Structure formats: C-alpha cells, structure tokens
Amino acid sequence: MDIQLKIKQLTKRYKTGEGVSDISLDVRKGEMITLLGPSGCGKTTVLRSVGGFLEPDSGDILIEGKSVLKAPPEKRPTSMVFQGYNLWPHMTVYDNLAFGLKIRKTKKAEIDQAVSDVLQLVRLPGAERKYPGQLSGGQQQRIAVARSLLLKPAVLLLDEPFSALDAKLRHEMREELREIQANTGLTMVFVTHDQEEALSISDRIVVMNHGHIEQIASPQEIYDVPQTLFVAQFIGKMNFLKGVVADDRVRVGQLAFPNSKKLSGNVILAIRPEDVFVNGEEGEGLSGTIKQIMVLGHYAEVSVELQEYGTIRTFQPRDFVKDLHSGQIVNVSFAKALAYPETKIIQGGI
C-alpha cells in the first residue's frame, strides 16, 4: 500500500526539555492513525511539525514521497482541524467554507457545488446562510471539519478536535468522522489523550510517552497485547499484581501462567477486569473479601480486597452479582495475565 506520510527520525526539543526524539512513522494512504498519550508526551509536537507550524531540529517529513520541511503551512498538502473551531463569526457558513477556495481562484459555480456537497457530507445541508453563532458547538466543529475537507488535503490533521464537546456529542462526532473518512478515503492523523476515542476510530494507534513511541498497532492489539507496562496501564482498566517467575512459569500465589517473554525474577502481572473470575470460597485462586459492588448498566464492577495483593477490580455479568454481597469471602482466578519486568514507574497500580 502507498505510504502517504513518512516521518523520518523527527526530533524537536524545547528549552523546557519536553518535545520528541527520533520519531519515525509511516502512514498509509487512506489510513486513520491516532497519536495517543498523556499531556506533554509530544503528540501535538509531531502533528504541528507535519502541518508546518513547528520547525523540527532534525529529521524529515515526506508527503506523497516529497519532503515538505521547507514549505510553509499554506504550501503543504495538509489541512488542520484545531480544538477551537476558528470560524470567522462575522462571516456566514458559506463564506467561511468558500474562503480557501476563493484564494485558490476557484470558479464560483464550482465553489457553490463544493460547499453544497461538503455540507451534505457533514450532515448540515442548507446551512450556508447561517452564522457560526447560530450553530451549536458540534455543528461548528462539523463546519471546521468541512472547511478542511474542501481543501482536499493529502493528509488531514486533527488536533483533539472534539475535546470541547460534551460526551454524547463527542461520541456522535467520532462516528461521523469515521464515516467521512470511509466515504472520502482521506488519510487522517488524529491527536487525542482520550483512549476510548482512539480505540473507537483508529486503524492504528501510536501510543506516545515522554517524547518517544511506546507501541504502534491496531486498537485490538494495543488492548489485548500491550508491549510495555506503560501501554498496559494507559489503555483501558487494568489490575496489577506482583508475581515471580519460578520453574519457567509466571506465578502469583497458587496461580501459574506461561512465561512467553522468558522473564526471570520478580515481575508485574497485568490482568484486565473482564479476565477475572470470582469463585466461591471453596474455589481455587487468590482469597479475598468483596469490598464493593457497583452495577453499571448491563455489567457490574466488583472490587475484591485480596489478602496479600491489595484491591482488584472485576467486571461481572449483572445477573451474576445478585448472589454476591459486601464482606463475602471469595477466591479469584484469571483467564489470562500479561507479565512485565518489575519496575517502579507504574502509575496508580502498585
């Protein structure tokens, strides 16, 4: 498949010490890739470097095989959608959308058709004569996306475009963006710190931490097989327990798991809440006491205080928890567990 965007050994460091070092990434034509990570990890630095708003210290950026490093933002085959809508309040939707095309000296009939088509695409047909102030936040962000689409960029860049919207609107906008991407075949690079957002819309996710890439993979692989302890604790809910390798098995209490990474000594086990079984007092596993049961719609979150390992969270079917109560002694076991070398940098787990 054609590589639409190639980032080669990109480095950009600020005086504060933050920034990115030696970032390399290939984005395929028609792919939606998401840069995901906590604030300050460097994802926006990468995006702005691609858009031409930052000048890298070293490295190269190629779009459709050509270096764009020396081109200013307006000369690059990119378009960016920002967190703020950046719409001109004194201009109608039509004029906001047509502005870039007028600069390109596009004929009026072509502009009219293009504006009409793109408004249809973002589900706002007939909004040409409205002003931004007459639109909701979600509608304004749709217009901002439409304006970028009209420029027909080789790569569309999106910098946390839905962060100002409420949860329901964010969810709707994600679905619509994915639909637009499927309909247009546009190559998109999306920046977010919201893991649910990344998992729901991406073809691949680039997990970043402290200016470097931790893992690049599909959402399913990122969730099921996080390569590092950081990815394991950043993506989704996860339980962490201290374990040890003995007889080439990863062990925690009387439970044992394959040692696929050939680790040795002390390790940290990562277990998804949905992979935790809650058994009766007589069952096998780690003994503990139920602390809390929270019904969350079609499933329940059950917290169990393990005797030697602290609190572990489990997701259980709603019907299953009818027979459970706080203070009940149970045993827990795990469908599967991931193991990592022991380290102290994990946040909120151990």
> Residue 323: which pLDDT band, with cuts at 50, 70 and 90?
confident
pLDDT digits (tens, 9 = 90+) for 210-239: 999 999 999 999 999 999 999 998 998 999
Burial of 171 (0-12, 13-18, 19+ CB in 10 A): middle
Mean pLDDT for 131-139 is 87
How many angstroms separate the CA atoms of 306 and 187, rounded?
47
Task: Spell out the domain ranges in the chain.
Answer: 3-230, 237-341
Find out if CATH 3.40.190.10 is the number for domain 237-341. Answer: no
Task: Give 348 or 105, the one with higher predicted confidence.
Answer: 105
Angle between helices 167-184 and 137-150 (to 10 degrees): 20
Q: Which two tokens stand for residue 299?
A: 């499933």
In three-state secondary structure terms, 33 is strand
What band does 349 get if pLDDT is binned at 50, 70 and 90?
Answer: very low
* Three-class DSSP category at 63: strand
β-strand partners of 267: 243, 341
pLDDT at 344: 58
- Region 182-197: mean pLDDT is 90
Confirm if 209 and 203 have CB atoms less than 8 A apart: no
Supply the mean pLDDT for the chain.
89
Q: Which residues, 6+ apart, have CB-to-CB distance to 45 below 8 Å?
A: 12, 18, 19, 20, 54, 211
| Residue 35, pLDDT score | 96
Question: Which range, of 84-98, 162-176, 282-296, averages the lowest pLDDT?
Answer: 162-176
Instruction: Say if residues 303 and 291 touch (Cβ distance below 8 Å).
Output: yes
Q: Which residues pair with 152 in a beta bridge?
A: none
Q: What is the pTM of this model?
A: 0.88
pLDDT score recorded for residue 57: 94
Asked whether the predicted pLDDT for residue 282 surpasses 80, the reply is no
In this prediction, residues 120-140 reach a mean pLDDT of: 86
In the chain, pLDDT over 90 holds for what percent of residues? Answer: 56
What is the SS3 assignment for 46? helix
Cα-Cα end-to-end distance for the chain: 43
pLDDT digits (tens, 9 = 90+) for 329-348: 999 999 999 999 987 544 44
The pLDDT of residue 63: 96
What CATH superfamily classification does 3-230 receive?
P-loop containing nucleotide triphosphate hydrolases (3.40.50.300)
CA separation for the pair 186, 150 (Å, rounded): 12
Q: How far is CA 84 from CA 19, 128, 274, 295, 342, in A?
A: 23, 20, 37, 37, 42
pLDDT attached to residue 291? 94
- What is the model's pLDDT at position 348? 40
Q: What confidence tens digit (pLDDT) does each residue in 6-34 have?
A: 999 999 999 888 899 999 999 999 999 99
